[in-house]
Structure formats: structure tokens, C-alpha cells
Structure 1
Amino acid sequence: MDDFMNKLTVDCKYTLIGKFSTTIPKIELIRKSFILQTQLNGGVNIAHYNARRVFIDLENELDYNTVWTQQRMTIEGKLMRIQAWNPNFRPEEETPIVPIWVLLQGLPWHCFKEEFITPLLELVGKVLYLDTTSIKRTRATMAKVKVQVDLTKDRPRHIWIGLDEEDLSIGRWQSIEYENIPHYCVYCKHQGHMIGDCNFKIRDEEFKRRKELGAEMKHMNKGEQGQQRSDHKQNRAMEHEEQQHQNTKEGNNQQQPEQQKEEEWQVSRKRNNKIQEEKIHKTVWRPTSPHNKMSREQPQITAQQTGTLNITNHNSFTNLNMQEKQIEDT
């Protein structure tokens, strides 16, 4: 399956993407202007993709490198940026693969050859071509090379040039300079800015911060509601406890008069019993002398003789059982 997909991509190896900053002009005008500005050696096919992009299919590597390394052109007064195409192309993203100039200051004179520089810069990227002065060796201070680089990868600043095939320690460090490296944001995957200045990242972080703040506020509100419910329960428990205490107090207050009445009744009863006992003590039967008996009986005899009944005011004895019964009834 991988081999089949690779064969499919072979036909698109010289495909580029033209991206306009605004809506594209008419496709006929794009084709005409493009051909006039590029002066291609082979043919070209330009196809409309969407409102801001076109696909550009070239026929050979020379034309591909020539057009791609221009990076931009103006068509009908509108800027079109030229980017590399790859099988993983997505319209909402931009490729990190770009061509840049690499300067090799002080490169040994006998090394000004593409067959030497190409493997030398493998760690940097794919060598596309040398500039005209480097090819013609008309500038001895440095070699200037167009290299295809990946902006998401690190680029070396020095590289070792071995001058002896048998002894690799013999050689020199060659400095590498990069000219006009475009910015690339790994967050939104667009060229022109770094991640620290990405508006998409700032927007997403602000949205995330607000979401976290909202969740935190919701959690706090839920905690406050739980605390309020807990306080409400506690207050209800305290009110219930106070109510019980009040009821107990009122019950005690109601029982206290009853107890007081009971105590007063007991005191009154004891006092009445004491009075009755004193009365009983005073009315207890006592034996009387015969003289006193005769003196009390004499009026009765006289009354019988006369036919009248005189009831005495005092009994000679007291019925104790009767008195006790009266006391109990009291």
C-alpha cells in the first residue's frame, strides 16, 4: 500500500501551491501573468482549489526550483505566496518546508562544487542549487547555496570538513549562516510569526483561562451552596435543640406549680392532721369521780321526774372511732 501511494505522489513531485492574501483573480488572468513572469522551460498547469489557493503543476525540477525559490509574485495587483505541496497538505495549515539561502563563509577554494557542498549540507536540508557567482567562482569569500529546510527542525551553526580521508582529525570547522529565515508557528502551523505572537494561541489560552475560571467559580458556588445547606442544617438542629430545651423548660415550669401545689396540699394536710390530733387530745375520755357523776346525773333524774329531757352539752366520753372517721373524711 505504501509503494502504491508513493507511486501516486511521483506525478505531483513538482507541484506547488499559490496562496493569495485575498480572493484570487480569475484563473485565466493568473495563468497568463504567471507564464509571463516565470519564463519556464517546460509547461505548466494551474488549477483552482478554493477562494484563496491554486495548484501549480510544473514539468521539470529546474522550473520547480525557479518558481518555488521566488517565494512570491504579484498577479493582477494581488500578492501570491508560493509554497511547497506535500501528500499531507491541509488548506488550514502552511508547510514548514521553505527554500532559504545558506552562506558558507571562508569555504576552501577547491570546495566550490555542488557535488561537494550537497553532502556537506545534508544536516541542513536538500541543496537546490548554487548561486551564479558560486558556480562561476567569481566570489572567493564565500559560497552561497539555496537549500530546502524544515523550519521546525534545528539547524547546525558549524560543520566539520575533513581534509584527510585517512585521518579524520585533520580538517576544519566550517561556519554556516542562514539568510532571511521566515518565522513559523508550530501552534497554528502558519508562516510569518512565532508561537509567542500567535493570536490563535492567545485566543485559545484566554478561552481556556475563562473556562477554568468559570469551573472554579462554579465549584466555589457549589461549595458555598453546600456550606449554606450545612449551615442551614446546623441552624435547624440548633433551633430544634433550643425548642426541645424550651419545651423541657416549659414542662418543668408546668410541673413546678403542680409540685408546689402538691407540697402546699401536703403541708395543709399535715397542719389539719395536727389540729385534729390536738382536738382529739383535748376530747379524750377521762374517768370522773362519783361525786361529779352524781352531780351530772342529778339533773337527768329531775328531768325525768318532771317529764322534760335535758340534753347535756358534754358527753362523759368521746367516741374515738367516730372522731377518727371524721378526721379521715376531712
Structure 2
Amino acid sequence: MNPTPVLKLALVDRCQLYVEYQTPLDGLSGYVLPLDTKIGNHEGSFHPGGNRFSFSARNIVLEQNILCAELKNSRGDWWYDQLEVIVNVSTDRTPVSFSVEFRRYDPNRLQGCYNIRLIDQRLLAAEFSGPNGKARDIYIDLKHYLGVKDGAFDSKGRDFSSSVQNAHMIGTTLCATHNDGHPISIALSRVLQFKNGSFSPLKVTKNEDLDYEVLTDLSDRRWLSNANPPPKLINYKQKRAWYLIANCLNSRGSYQESTIRLHDIVGPGDDEMFTFFSEKPIPEHARETRLENGILTASFDAGDDKWIQRSFDLAELVTNEGGALAK
């Protein structure tokens, strides 16, 4: 079979592939292939050779020859996936032979990022060049989007760090040692993508759940010992999740990045702090969140359409222990 140029490839009626092509004998021809007879859905991923994928799919589009959709898994979660569509048409002097192949499509979804690193086996960080060419940092808590199952990384799971040791990045591949001693790895392009200046999980997530601001303490007070430059605080505005990040001096005399989630260092016994670090903030007061001289100030919902502003000295909550942030 000799391939011939396909003149048009389009998606019609949501899940039918229309192919327009031309051969020497027949001239211009068209063919419609019902994709539900060729593709299925297996736990949120395209399954070539299956069927009826569209019954549990949404936002189905064809981008050039790449089929894209959000697919539902058995737990009701939606996952973004892509499939390459390859069309072959014969040009022999015989009845036209027509075939369509479907191949897994795993592009480098993290293209545009650099200095990709994992901080304390949970917080994925990277840099990219912003509109003005200035480097900008992006973050995501990888524990929410990656797990371990049957001795291997599971792109559909959660809380991977409890099952591995020595997790680290080599390029865009996450490598680690499983708790039973064998090495495991996964290409992070199977888990998330770099999109519109941020990390975007392939598991479809509300945009507001990924919305965060970076607060940098530029004051002269050195409230965290052996940390340089000043610490940053990642504030997820809608989820009320706080991650303190600092370059901490370790016992070898070098600096290493470390992070701690503030919710993890307070407990229900500390009622005021626990509420402060747990309650969802009122969006219109999110702008009042600030970090100055090691003092974190923010507001939280007190009920009955009221809000309360609180301040805490992080120097009383966090310290540097040998290169790692600790309570």
C-alpha cells in the first residue's frame, strides 16, 4: 500500500471521522468511520481496539490528526488523553484499500519548562520564561496526582511518596526506589502538562483548585536560620493550602530546597491555628494575604458572612533542621 495525501481530516457528529482523499483512479473520495467501533475507554485512557469510547467522553476534538478528549474512569474522575490518527489509502490500480490506525500519543507535554525538580518528595517545581523573558517559577503538589500500584508508579493514583524513597528527577522522568528495594520510574508527561504558564494535571481539575499566589518575604528580618534567599510561601487561594519553601543550609555546608505544608505542623488542639490553616478563605479578601518579617497575615471565613483576620509568626512554627524545614 502506497500512502496518498489526505486532503481533509475532520470530526463530524462528535465521534465520526471524515476522511477526504484523492486517488488517480477514483479522483476525490470521502469516507466516514464511526470511531465508536474502533476505540474504547479504559479507566480514563483511549483504548484502540475497543468500542463506544464516546459514551464516557466529553470535549472531543480533533487537532490536525490528534484525537483529544476527556474520558471518565470507573471512579467518576475525568482524564485528558490524546490519540494519534494515521490514515492510509492505496494508490494501486486495484479497488481502493483504505485503513485507519490509532497509536498512543505521548508528546513532551512539559516542553517549555526547565530546571524541573522535586522538593522533599512531594512538591514539583520548574521554571519557564515569562512574557518579558524573565524566569518564573511554577509549582504543583505531585502527591495529589501520582500513586504507586503493584510495584510501579500509577498515573491514576495518589500519595506516591509513601511508597518510595529517594525520589528525584532526571529530565522529565521521575525516578525513585520502591520501598521493597527495586527502582521505578515514570515520564511525567503521563501525569501532567505545561499549559498557559502553569502545571496542568491530565486528571481534569477545577481551575480554581490550581490557583495560587507566591508570597516572598523581602524584609530584613532573618526569621528562618541558615536560609538564603528569603523563603517563599505558596498560597492556594481556594483550597487553603500553604507550602513554605526555603533554601536551607545542610550539614555538608551547601543549600538545598525544602518545603513544609503549614497545615501539617498544627493540629486540632491548636484550635485557632488549625482553623486558620484549614478554612477556605473568602475570595474577595485573598488580596489581603501577606508575608512580612516572617509574619503571615490572612483572613478566613467566620460564618454568617463575617471574616476574621489573623497573623502568625512563622519563626515560632518552623525551623531549619540540617537542611530540611521542620516544626
TM-score range, shorter chain: under 0.3
Larger helix share, 1 or 2: 1
Larger strand share, 1 or 2: 2
- Rg larger in structure: 1
